[in-house]
Amino acid sequence: MNLVFFALVAVAFAVAAVRQLLWDAGGLDEVAPMALLTDEMIAAARASVELAIGLVGVMALFLGLMKVAEQGGLLVIIAKTVRPLMTRLFPDVPPNHPAMGAMILNISANVLGLGNAATPFGIRAMQELDKLNPHKGTATNAMALFLAINTSSVTILPTGVIALRASLGSTEPAAIVPTTLVATLCSTIVAIVAAKSLQRFFAAPPPDAETEEREMDADEVTAPPAAKTPEAPAGSDEAYPLHVSLLVLLGVTALVPLTILYGREISPWIVPALMVGLLGFGMAKRVRVYECFVEGAKDGFQVALKIIPYLVAILVAVAMFRASGALDALVAAIGSFTDPLGLPAEAVPMALLRPLSGSGAYGVMTSIMQDPATGPDTYVGFLVSTLQGSTETTFYVLAVYFGAVQIRRIRHALAAGISADIAGVIAAVTIVGLLFGAL
């Protein structure tokens, strides 16, 4: 991450410096390249803090619900249901560990296109995974794989993109559901393969014996023996029979055609139903839902404070890269090569920006679909909509998730995430071309 961060800043500064030296001050309304770079840096730093503050409420809401689900035993139930798959993907995580349930809730939220709900669940999963981390500050294999899956995130219902398409007058706002599903399935498969393949080349450093001894001594002083290994809930060490897992998987699969046919009608119900369902489950399990919810919501404020420095660093670097003109130069350089492959020059900024800046990519997508020459129901419109729904802001996820648990050495997480992004773009171009006539 050190190299990526410095490279973005250094390239942005170099490009802006060249433009500044060649700049003609004759145009009174034109802003000097270096002045523009400075303004964008300050604006990005301010926006980073505003973004973190805006996440406080959302995190408090969903982490509160997460706490109720955990106290009621829902996470254990979910983990037991999908244990055959999760234990193979995450062999280093105990099957009944809270991290399993948190990861499943995060993946489920992404499947439904609920980015706001997925982030708190993902942060909670990272916090739980960090409890199993023998090398504090270094990403584990499970963390890297989870982040790669989160970056690719199989999506059945890209609710936000569908709503935007509808607002821009699309006659087929939900037409991107099958294209998004295919693209995210491909990117998720690549994410898993990449993370599993690369982990052997990015071995975690051996623990420092002196540091490990100091940590053990501190544990002995600050925590009684019973506090180190909490007793698992009764029955949590046994998975459900295989046929139960298969039935649940079939039930989830059956939701796919329903979301395609009734996606717009279903999407407004998801978040309210999630809250009522989790609180109702807690009540049925005799959990003191109000006190439990408040206790979990407190974590939202602490997490938001932890991630602010990480957000400032990555968002300022990305803003510099855009404002300097480096991104435009990159688009101009590769646009002529991608157009014959089904990725028009108009969509190249979207493909490049999506891993770097979610808001930037959203703005590009909106401007393309607002343009009368393209619109939401053309090939380009369908392509940028699919790209928005089928790829994730990788650098944002890295900053937020790893920042929440103070991870500094990310190992192969970035490489796996970028691999998933590239696969998502290729799959999106292929499926949109097949369905909408460009290929």
* Burial grade of 194 (CB within 10 A; 0-12, 13-18, 19 or more): buried
| 3-state class (DSSP) for residue 204 | coil
The span from the CA of 364 to the CA of 165, in Å, is: 14
In this predicted structure, the answer to whether residue 212 has a pLDDT above a threshold of 70 is: no
The span from the CA of 359 to the CA of 380, in Å, is: 19
The span from the CA of 149 to the CA of 130, in Å, is: 17
Residue 252 pLDDT level (bands cut at 50, 70, 90):
low
Tell me: the pLDDT tens digits for 115-174? 666 788 888 899 999 999 998 899 999 999 999 998 887 777 676 687 678 777 888 787
What string of H, E and C letters represents the secondary structure of 42-69? Answer: HHHHHHHHHHHHHHHHHHHHHHHHHHHH
What's the rounded mean pLDDT across residues 396-403? 86
What pLDDT sits at residue 389? 76
223: which residues sit within 8 A by CB, 6+ positions away?
none
To the nearest whole number, what is the mean pLDDT of the chain? 78
In this predicted structure, the answer to whether residue 43 has a pLDDT above a threshold of 80 is: yes
User: Are the C-beta atoms of residues 180 and 386 closer than 8 Å to each other?
Assistant: yes
* Burial grade of 139 (CB within 10 A; 0-12, 13-18, 19 or more): buried
Q: Which amino acid is at 10?
A: A
* Burial grade of 295 (CB within 10 A; 0-12, 13-18, 19 or more): middle
What pLDDT sits at residue 261? 64
In this predicted structure, the answer to whether residue 12 has a pLDDT above a threshold of 70 is: yes
What pLDDT sits at residue 217? 39
What pLDDT sits at residue 416? 93
| Higher pLDDT, residue 209 or 46 | 46
User: Are the C-beta atoms of residues 427 and 390 closer than 8 Å to each other?
Assistant: yes
What's the rounded mean pLDDT across residues 5-10? 87
Tell me: the pLDDT tens digits for 292-342? 898 888 876 776 677 678 778 877 887 888 889 887 888 778 877 887 888
What's the rounded mean pLDDT across residues 367-376? 81
For 279-282, the CB contacts below 8 A with 24+ separation are 279/65, 279/68, 281/68, 281/69, 281/72, 281/74, 282/68, 282/69, 282/71, 282/72
Beta bridge partners of 409: 138
Write out the two tokens for 213: 């001894």
What pLDDT sits at residue 361? 76
Write out the two tokens for 70: 């955990």
In this predicted structure, the answer to whether residue 385 has a pLDDT above a threshold of 50 is: yes
What pLDDT sits at residue 110? 77
What pLDDT sits at residue 236? 44
In this predicted structure, the answer to whether residue 233 has a pLDDT above a threshold of 50 is: no
What percentage of the chain exceeds 70 in pLDDT?
A: 78
Q: H-type helices in 170-208, by residue range? A: 176-198
In this predicted structure, the answer to whether residue 3 has a pLDDT above a threshold of 50 is: yes
User: Are the C-beta atoms of residues 154 and 425 closer than 8 Å to each other?
Assistant: no
Tell me: the pLDDT tens digits for 58-74? 767 877 887 887 788 77
Task: Count the Cβ atoms, other than its own, within 10 Å of residue 225.
Answer: 8
What's the rounded mean pLDDT across residues 261-288? 79
Write out the two tokens for 186: 């491909």
What pLDDT sits at residue 278? 85
In this predicted structure, the answer to whether residue 223 has a pLDDT above a threshold of 50 is: no
Buried-state track 346-374, b at ≥16 Cβ within 10 A, e below 16: bbbbbbbbbbbbbebbbebbbebbeeeeb
What pLDDT sits at residue 141? 93
What percentage of the chain exceeds 90 in pLDDT?
A: 17
What pLDDT sits at residue 24? 72
| 3-state class (DSSP) for residue 306 | helix
Residue 347 pLDDT level (bands cut at 50, 70, 90):
confident
What's the rounded mean pLDDT across residues 68-87? 74
